[in-house]
Amino acid sequence: MSDLLPIYLKIRNHSTDLCKELNTEDHNLQAAEFVSPPKWHLAHTTWFFEEMILKPFLKSYKLFDEGFAFLFNSYYNNLGDRLLRRNRGLISRPELNRILSYRNYVDQHIVQLFEDNPSDQVLELLVLGTQHEQQHQELLLSDLKYSFSLNPSYPAYGQQRNYIGSKNQESGWVKIPDGIYKIGHKGSEFSFDNEHKQHKVYLQAFEISKSLVTNGEYIEFIENNGYNNFNLWLDEGWAWINDENLQSPLYWYKKKEGWWHYTLSGLQKIDVDAVLCHISYYEAMAFAAWKGQRLATEFEWEVASDEIKWGSRWEWTNSAYLPYPGFQITEGAVGEYNGKFMSNQMVLRGASSVTSEGHSRKTYRNFFHPHLRWQFTGIRLAKY
């Protein structure tokens, strides 16, 4: 891991680069409990390195601020009490400059740690920390978009920051024969614990689409009364769209001149040929039912991944987020990273247009509750 330090610094700098186009006021935006302010992301990812690495492994280390452990812990019960998630946007102080100083302080001490010839355990935690920060880089953009979208002026994060204009490069179907396949990560490259252990599954023969569902295809579903046909929806999904009074994907608006949507480049007319984005699992399942098709399981997706182009949208699968055979939760705070969330969530595969460089692989298991759609999610269909 001799090249880990420059990788660490590159990833850390990317987080602050993402915020360079923001105003100071933007850094505290939190429009809902499930999103976090940019300033909190900058601080929490720094806290991770301080708490997991510097405190236990750098003997000379002194905390930057003792109060930060409470303010910027996310969900690590092993590491003490924390601020309620819904209140993260209330942290107007410490101010942004102090958070940036905090980042510099921790980075300087990580560099010092490297000079002390760190152990393999420390290096492994550093890799985990960089991967963790890359996850938050994607969350930062997703959260910012949601918070910006509720501003009636539809502010632009950047004129070249649409992020959802990609189009399919292929069409047709990939046929996968039945058989026994190996699933999960195996090798020396980094992977999260929920990708372990590699195991075998039997799959029936199936076909998977080479293309993702487009905006135009989804508009057909809407105009065919898709949001009002209970026969297409899972019962919980039907209750959800009625409770929320939903008739279209997140960020979509119907105007006299057609469909528009909010993007990080502002409000724009929908390109019917672009790939659909910001869709829930419930909506994905209803659309698949309308087409007389289905979503792939996460195992089918992984087996087919070398035959399809992926990476522009997180793709909903029809697999519950559950442990692989032989999975064990690690002791301590690191064990809280994935395992305790294996309940009532669905797996997404692939990556998205806002996933950080070098942070995707075919065994990656993303997971969210089925009603959530603020992530850059899309639909790929399958059939037997």
Please choose, from the candidates 193, 59, 44, the residue with its C-alpha nearest in 3D space to the C-alpha of residue 127: 193
Q: Can you give the pLDDT at residue 1?
A: 58
Q: Can you give the pLDDT at residue 116?
A: 87
Phi, psi at residue 222, to the nearest 5°? -65, -50
Q: Would you tell me how many other CB atoms lie within 10 Å of the CB of residue 183?
A: 20
Provide the 3-class DSSP secondary structure of residue 315.
strand
| Angle formed at CA 126 by CA 122 and CA 129, multiple of 5 degrees | 135
- Whole-model pTM: value is 0.96
Cβ atoms of 13 and 355 closer than 8 Å? no
First to last CA, the chain: 44
Q: Can you give the pLDDT at residue 7?
A: 97
Element (H, E) at 291: helix 281-291
The series of mean pLDDT values per 10 residues for the chain, 384 residues long, is: 88 98 97 98 98 95 97 94 97 97 98 92 96 98 98 95 97 98 95 96 98 98 98 98 98 95 98 98 98 98 98 98 93 85 97 97 98 98 98
Question: What residues have CB less than 8 Å from 158, skipping those under 6 apart?
Answer: 21, 264, 265
Tokens standing for residue 318: 């029809």
Please choose, from the candidates 202, 27, 190, the residue with its C-alpha nearest in 3D space to the C-alpha of residue 99: 27
Cβ atoms of 164 and 277 closer than 8 Å? yes
Which strands, in side-by-side order, build the sheet including 346-350?
366-368, 346-350, 314-320, 377-378
Each domain of the chain, given as residue ranges in start order, spans: 4-149, 173-383
DSSP class of residue 275 equals: B
Tokens standing for residue 76: 């690590």
Strands 258-263 and 252-255: antiparallel
Query: So what CATH class is 173-383?
Result: alpha beta
Phi, psi at residue 164, to the nearest 5°? -125, 25
Tokens standing for residue 207: 């076909």
Q: Can you give the pLDDT at residue 333?
A: 83
Q: Would you tell me how many other CB atoms lie within 10 Å of the CB of residue 16?
A: 13
Question: What residues have CB less than 8 Å from 145, skipping those under 6 apart?
Answer: 157, 251, 262, 263, 264, 374
